[in-house]
Structure 1
Amino acid sequence: MSAEMIVFLLLGAAAGGFINGLSGTGTALFALGFYLVVLDPVTAVAIVALMSVIAGLQGVWVVRRAILAQPRRLMRFVLPGLVGVPIGVWLLNGLDASVLRLGVAGFLILYGGYFAVRRSLPAFARPTPVIDCAIGGIGGVLGGAAGMSGAVPSMWMSLRPWTKFETRAVLQPFNIVMLSTTVTLLFLRGAFATAGPALLITIPTGLIAAQIGIAVFRRLTDTAFRWVLILLTLAMGIGVGVSELM
C-alpha cells in the first residue's frame, strides 16, 4: 500500500466520519471523492457503506433515549424503506441510474438553495404519518436504485420542528438499516474480498472522526441542526451532480 493511498484513505475516512458524527448522514458524499482516487468503485462504495454503519452506531447510542421515546415514528420510515430497497434494485433494470441521480441532484440543489437563502425555515408541526411512510419508501427506492437513501428523508426532517435528538433518532437508524442492507448485498457479491487493508485504516479513523462530529453535534442548537441538514442537502446535490457529470 503506497503512501498516497494511505493519505487518501485517511482523508476520506476523516471527512466521512466527521459528517456522520455531526449529522447522521452524508458519509458517502464526503468520503467517496477521496476513496475513488485510489480504489475501484465497488470496493470504495463497500468500504463507505460499512464505515457508515459502524460509525453510525455511535450516533445511535447518543440518541438512544429519543429512539425509545418514539419507536413508532422511526418504524414509519424504516419499514416502508425496507420495502422500497428491493423495488429500487428492480427498477435498475429499466432505469438509467445516472439520469436518476442527476434528477435527484437537481432537486436537492433547488431545495437546499431555496431554503439556504431564507431567514427562517417552515415547520410542519402536525403529525404526518402518511407522508412519513411515503418519505421512508422513497428513501428506500432511491437507496436501491441510486444509493441515495438519506437524501429525501434529510430534506423532510429538516422541515419538522423536532429537536435535534428527535430528528437524528429517525435519520441515523434509517440510514443504518438501509446501508446494512447494502453492505449485505455487496458482501454476497464479494465486494470486500480485497478491502481488508483499507478497512484497517478507514474504520479506526472514521470512528475517531465521528466522535469529533458528535461532540460538535452536542453543541448545536435545534435550529442550527436544522440548518446543517439544509446546507448538507445542498452540498449533497452539488456533489452528486458534479460526480455524475465528470
Structure 2
Amino acid sequence: MFELQFIVFVAVGASIGGFVNGIAGFGTGLFALSWWLLVLPPMTSVLLVVALSLVSGLQGVVAIKQNLNWPRLLRFLVPAFLGLPLGFLFLESINVQFLKVLVGVLLLLFGVFFAFRSNFPRMARDNNFGDMLTGFAGGVLGAVAGLSGALPTIWSSLHGWNKYEQRALLQPFNVIILGTVFICLLYKNPIHDQFLFALFISIPFSVLGSQLGIFTFKKLTDNQFRRLLVWLIFVSGIVLLIRETSDLIIPLI
C-alpha cells in the first residue's frame, strides 16, 4: 500500500513541475525532483521526470506549433543527437554529481548577472555555430543528467527573439531529446509498479499544472517572459546546488 504522504508528494511535484514547464518550456525535473526524491528511489524519480517532461512538453508544443522554426530547431537538434551518445558514454566515467554542481553554478551566475539588470544584452544576429554548440552540449547534458534545456534556455535568452520564438525552440527541443533519453532509460531499466503508480498519480496533476502554465505564458509580454526565464534560471541554479550538495554538507554540520 502507498501512504498518503507518497501520493501528496508525487502530486505536488507533478503540479509544480507541470506549471513551470507550461510557462517556460523547461524545468520539470529541477522543480519536481526535490519532492519526488523524498518518496521515490533516484532512478524511479528520473524516469518520472522524463515521462512528465514529455506529458507537459507535448501540450506546450501544440500551443506553439504555428511558431515552429524548423531550420533554427534543426541547428540545435542535429548536434544534440550527436551529443547524446557522448553523454551516455560519460555516465560510465565521470562524476555526475560534480557535473550537476557545475551546471548549477553556471545557472546561478547567469541568473545573478542578468536578474537585476534593467536591460538585457541581445545578439545583433543569429550565431549558427553558437546554436550548434549549445545544442550539442544540451544533448550531452540531457543524457548525463536530464538537463537538456539548461544551456539552450540561457542561450535563447540572449537573442532578440520574442516569447513564442523562444518557446518554439525550447519546448520541442526538450521533448525530442528527453523522449530519446526516456526510450534509452526504459531499455536499460525495468518498469516497476511503484513507477507506474507514481505516473498514474502524476499525469492529471501535470496536465492541470501545464495548462495553468500555458495560460500564464500567453498573458506575459515578451520582456516579462524573458525576465521570468532569467529568474527561473537563477532559482533552478539554487535548487540544483542545494539538492546536489546537501548530502555533502549535512555530515559536516
Where in structure 2 are there 5+ consecutive unaligned residues?
Answer: 247-253
Stretch deviating more after TM superposition (211-220 or 225-234) = 225-234
Q: Aligned partner of 2:9: which letter?
A: F
- C-alpha change, 1:227 and 1:192, in structure 2 (3 Å) is farther
Q: Which runs of 5+ in 1 are unaligned?
A: none
Give, in whole Å, the separation in 2 of the partners of 1:150 and 1:169.
Answer: 13
In 2, Cα distance between equivalents of 1:72 and 1:156: 17
Q: Which residue of 1 aligns with 2:228?
A: 228
Could you list the structure 1 runs, at least 4 aligned residues long, displaced by more than 2 angstroms after superposition: 189-194
Cα separation, 1, equivalents of 2:101 and 2:15: 27
Q: Deviations over 1:166-203 (max 9, x none)?
A: 10100000111111012111211235322111111101
Distance in structure 2 (CA, Å) of the matches to 1:245 and 1:191: 29
Describe the SS at the equivalent of 2:38.
helix
* Match runs of 1:20-31 below 5 Å: 20-31=21-32
Query: 1:245: Cα distance to partner?
Result: 0.6
Deviations 1:47-81 (A, max 9, x none): 111011011101001110111xx210000011111
Instruction: Summarize the alignment of residues 47-126 of structure 1 with structure 2, pairs less than 5 Å apart.
Output: 47-67=48-68, 70-126=69-125
* Greater Cα shift, 47-56 or 85-94: 85-94
**Residue identity (%):** 40
Which secondary structure state, in structure 2, belongs to the residue aligned with residue 114 of structure 1? helix
Aligned partners of 1:230, 1:192: CA distance in 2, in Å? Answer: 36
SS at structure 2 position matched to 1:94: coil
Partner of 1:145: 144
1:172 lines up with 2:171 in the alignment: yes
In structure 1, the residue matched to 2:135 is 136
Corresponding position: 1:219 with 2:222 = no
Tell me which moved more, 229-238 or 189-198. Answer: 189-198
Contact 2:19 2:210 in 1 (8 A): yes
Give 1:101 deviation, angstroms.
Answer: 1.2
Instruction: Tell me, yes or no, if structure 1 residue 188 matches structure 2 residue 187.
Output: yes
Q: Which residue of 2 aligns with 1:210?
A: 210
TM-score (norm: length of structure 2): 0.94
Report the alpha carbon displacement of residue 11 of structure 1 after superposing the two structures with TM. Answer: 0.5
CA contact (8 A) 1:46 1:191 kept: no
For residues 122 and 240 of structure 1, the distance between their equivalents in structure 2, rounded to whole angstroms, comes to 26
CA RMSD of aligned residues (A): 1.1
What's the CA shift for 1:127?
A: 1.9
2: CA distance, partners of 1:20 / 1:218: 13
Higher deviation after alignment, 191-200 or 133-142: 191-200
**8 A Cα contact 2:50 2:146, kept in partner:** no
Question: What is the TM-score normalised by the length of structure 1?
Answer: 0.96
Give SS of 1:169's match.
Answer: helix
What is the distance in 2 between the residues matched to 1:235 and 1:22? 15
